[in-house]
């Protein structure tokens, strides 16, 4: 497989990789690095690609694994930073300004969900994969996907209703 064939193959879903990475990883820079890295890993495995039922689904599984690993690494780093880092306040105010926008606020609600629910909500409601595809990508069963999806949506609904009531009272 040469480079042009490969790029034609990944073009239809490279945006999805990026969006899923962005949902999980917060910053756009990180998501861009993740996308580049995942495409590179796919490239090195191009000779085996025919074995996979769907390259897109395989890419999504890779994205999930990459993001989980990178979040885990970040959590470990944060533990160390807690003791000697006092400059984080500026970043917090930055985030609050972003969240004042209503749509940004929904993204913030999504960010507060457990990682797996974030991922499932993104794959279903943004990327519009069906539950069986998501189950294959995340190596779970379909019922578990449905339950997690429903939980994620309900958590967000509660927050939306709370906000609405707050505005009225």
Partner 1 sequence: MESNKVEQLLEAYFEGATTLAQEKQLRTYFTSDLVAPHLESYRDLFTAFAIASQDTYDIPIHLPKQKKPMLRWISGVAAVVILAIGIATQIDSEPDNFNTGEYVGNVPEEVGVLKTKQALGLMGKMFSESTAQLGAVNEFNTTTSNFFKQ
Select the span of 32-40, 51-59, 78-86, 90-98 touching partner 1 (CB under 8 A).
Answer: 32-40
> Using CA atoms, how far apart are residues 111 and 67, in angstroms rounded to an integer?
14
Q: Which stretch binds partner 1 (CB under 8 A): 56-64, 74-82, 90-98, 117-125?
A: 117-125
Within positions 3 to 22, which residues make up the interface with partner 1, using CB under 8 A? 3, 6-7, 10, 14-15, 17-19, 22
User: Is position 106 an interface residue for partner 1 (rule: CB under 8 A)?
Assistant: yes
Q: How far is the CB of 155 from partner 1 (least distance, A)?
A: 10
Long-range contacts formed by 38-42: CB under 8 A, 24+ apart: 38/62, 38/63, 38/66, 39/10, 39/14, 42/6, 42/10
- Dist. CA 123–CA 49, nearest whole Å: 22
Maximum CA extent, the chain: 63
DSSP count for the chain of H helices, then E strands: 8, 0
Residues in 130-169 at the binding interface with partner 1, rule: CB under 8 A? 130, 146-147, 149-150, 153-154, 156-157, 160-161, 163-164
Stretch that binds partner 1, among 49-57, 61-69, 78-86, 103-111 (CB under 8 A): 103-111
- Cα separations in angstroms, 138 against 27, 63, 133, 161: 23, 10, 9, 30
Binding site for partner 1 (CB under 8 A): 1-3, 6-7, 10, 14-15, 17-19, 22-23, 32, 35-36, 39-40, 43, 47, 102-103, 105-107, 110, 122, 124-128, 130, 146-147, 149-150, 153-154, 156-157, 160-161, 163-164
């Amino acid at each position: 497989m040469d480079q042009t064939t490969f790029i034609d193959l990944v073009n239809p879903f490279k945006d999805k990789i990026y969006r899923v990475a962005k949902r999980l990883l917060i910053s756009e820079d990180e998501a861009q690095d993740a996308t580049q890295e995942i495409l590179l890993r796919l490239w090195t495995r191009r000779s085996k690609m025919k074995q996979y039922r769907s390259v897109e689904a395989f890419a999504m599984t890779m994205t999930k694994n990459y993001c989980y690993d990178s979040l885990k690494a970040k959590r470990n780093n944060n533990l160390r930073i807690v003791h000697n880092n006092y400059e984080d306040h500026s970043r917090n105010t930055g985030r609050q300004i972003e969240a004042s926008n209503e749509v940004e606020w929904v993204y913030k609600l999504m960010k507060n969900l457990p990682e797996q629910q974030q991922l499932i909500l993104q794959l279903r409601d943004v990327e519009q994969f069906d539950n069986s595809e998501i189950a294959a990508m995340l190596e779970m069963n379909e019922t578990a996907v449905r339950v997690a999806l429903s939980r994620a949506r309900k958590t967000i609904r509660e927050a939306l209703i709370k906000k609405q009531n707050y505005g009225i009272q």
